[in-house]
């Protein structure tokens, strides 16, 4: 029986601040970060939407300095686009950009599945199943932002079990992108798919065939990519119509088709 995959410690911070921040400052930063992240994952902020420091500071009852730090952090995570002298914007990725990110995820996660196949310890399987239960609960309660975040965190949990901080860091960046794509372009109802498909991945990792486990994991990513690309293409068609007609027709987000 192969040895269980070793546990990895949480990645160390990339850099220490020049001066230690107070506990209150850190709490404010995390509160602002959580609020903006939740807004991004809600799907209500459309591609290209500007995030103005003053408006965010007033809405969140904090300083513009706190907002600026959080926007820089989200920019480094690729959740926002930062433009010099213009500010922060919700990303407006091209279809080719999105396909490239999903291609990278398939390559990396195929290696992750090969690494973990047949090597998960009992407590690791229990942790994965507990996480899937949290995903199911978020969906049933209508917490779309939490459901999207938890769906990404499932893959981060797998990466952590592989025992490589470098791998975890890279997958974290990829998932930051694909979480946002899902929020922007996937339907709300599709969140119900993730827990079921993640349970299938767990079972496949404990099964008899590596090829079958790879097929399950990659099909999961393929289906997500197809839904996101279809949603993005539909939105771009609406934007083109608005441009040609000289007005922005009303549209509902969600792509419920």
Model confidence pTM above 0.85: no
Secondary structure element (H or E) that encloses residue 169, with its range: helix 165-185
Are the beta carbons of 5 and 162 closer than 8 angstroms? yes
- Any idea what DSSP says for residue 190? G
Q: What is the pLDDT of residue 241?
A: 57
pLDDT per residue as tens digits for the range 45-99? 889 999 999 999 999 999 999 999 999 999 998 899 999 989 999 999 999 999 9
Provide φ and ψ at 50, rounded to 5°.
Answer: -80, 145
Q: Which residues contact 146 (CB under 8 A, 6 or more apart)?
A: 138
How, if at all, do strands 87-89 and 50-51 pair? Answer: antiparallel
Rounded to whole angstroms, the Cα distance separating 62 from 35 reads 12
Q: Mapping DSSP to helix (H, G, I), strand (E, B) and coil, where does residue 61 land? A: coil
For the residues 189-196, what does the mean pLDDT come to?
78
In the prediction, which pLDDT does 247 show?
Answer: 53
Confidence of residue 257 (pLDDT cuts 50, 70, 90): very low
24-89 matches 95-245 in fold: no
Local structure of 3: helix, strand or coil: coil
CA distance 1 to 192: 34
What pLDDT, on the 0 to 100 scale, is given for residue 246? Answer: 58
Class of domain 24-89: mainly alpha
Say how far apart CA 19 and CA 128 lie, in whole Å.
38
DSSP string covering 12-31: PPS---SSPPPHHHHHHHHH
Domain boundaries, the chain: 24-89, 95-245
CATH of 95-245 given 3.40.50.300, 3.40.640.10, 1.20.120.530, 2.60.120.380: 1.20.120.530
> Dmax over Cα atoms in the chain, in whole Å?
66
């Amino acid at each position: 029986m192969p040895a269980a995959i070793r546990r990895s410690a949480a990645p160390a911070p990339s850099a220490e601040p020049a001066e230690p921040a107070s506990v209150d400052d850190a709490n404010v930063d995390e509160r602002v970060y959580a609020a903006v992240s939740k807004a991004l994952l809600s799907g209500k902020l459309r591609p290209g939407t500007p995030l103005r420091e003053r408006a965010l500071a007033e809405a969140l009852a904090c300083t513009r300095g706190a907002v600026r730090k959080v926007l820089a952090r989200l920019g480094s995570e690729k959740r926002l686009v930062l433009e010099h002298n213009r500010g922060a914007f919700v990303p407006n990725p091209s279809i080719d950009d999105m396909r490239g990110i999903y291609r990278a995820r398939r390559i990396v996660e195929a290696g992750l599945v090969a690494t973990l196949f047949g090597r998960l310890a009992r407590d690791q399987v229990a942790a994965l199943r507990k996480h899937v239960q949290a995903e199911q609960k978020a969906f049933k309660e209508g917490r779309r932002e939490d459901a999207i975040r938890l769906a990404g965190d499932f893959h981060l949990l797998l990466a952590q079990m592989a025992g490589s901080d470098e791998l975890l860091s890279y997958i974290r960046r990829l998932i930051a992108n694909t979480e946002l794509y899902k929020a922007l372009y996937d339907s709300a109802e599709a969140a119900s798919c993730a827990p079921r498909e993640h349970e299938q991945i767990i079972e496949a990792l404990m099964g008899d065939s590596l090829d079958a486990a790879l097929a399950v994991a990659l099909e999961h990513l393929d289906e997500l990519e197809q839904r996101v690309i279809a949603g993005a293409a539909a939105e771009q068609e609406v934007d083109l119509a608005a441009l040609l007609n000289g007005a922005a027709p009303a549209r509902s987000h969600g792509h419920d088709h």
